[in-house]
Amino acid sequence: MRGALLAAAGGAMGGAGGPLARTIRAKLTAALQPTHLEVRDDSPRHGGPPGAETHFGVLVVSGRFEGLPLLQRHRLVHEALRAELAGPLHALQVIARTPQQWQSDPQAPPAPPCLGGSKR
C-alpha cells in the first residue's frame, strides 16, 4: 500500500522517480555541480515494494572530485545527503568520478545482488 501511495504522490512513472530520488538528485546537483548524474532506486531489488526508496545507487561525475582520494569523494556525497542517510536512505552505492575518468570509461558496474540484509 505504501508503495502505491508513494507512486501516486511522487509520480514514480517516468524519469523523475519518487520524492526521495528527486531530493537526492537536487542535493547532489547543488553540492557537486555534476557534469553527469545518475540516481537509481535499487529498492525493488532488495525486497521493497515499488517506490519504497530505501536503497539507492548514485553515479556522480564532477570536477569537485579532482585530486581527491576515493574516501574523500564519497564523504562529499554523504555530506550532501546527510539528512537522508540519517533517515529513510538505508543503503547508498556511490560511484564518484572526475569528468576525465568518466570520459575514458563511461560505464558503471551494477550493484551487487541483495542477500536479505537485516530482514533475516
For another protein, the closer CB: 12 or 77? 77
Tell me if 37 contacts another protein by CB under 8 A: no
Of 34, 21, 32, whose CA–CA distance to 89 is shortest?
21
The span of 3-11, 12-20, 25-33, 112-120 binding another protein (CB under 8 A) equals 112-120
Least Å from the CB of residue 13 to another protein:
27
Q: Are 111 and 95 in contact (CB under 8 A)?
A: no
Tell me if 1 contacts another protein by CB under 8 A: no
Torsion angle of the four alpha carbons 33, 35, 41, 46, in this order, in degrees rounded to the nearest 10: -100
Q: How many CB atoms lie within 10 A of CB 67?
A: 9
Tell me if 113 contacts another protein by CB under 8 A: yes
CB-count burial class (<10 Å; 0-12, 13-18, 19+) for 119: exposed
Rounded to a whole number of angstroms, the CA Rg of the chain reads 15
Tell me if 86 contacts another protein by CB under 8 A: yes
Tell me if 76 contacts another protein by CB under 8 A: no
Which of 70, 83, 100, 103 binds another protein (CB under 8 A)? It is: 70
User: Can you give the binding site for another protein, defined by CB under 8 A?
Assistant: 70-71, 74-75, 78, 85-86, 91-95, 109, 111-118, 120
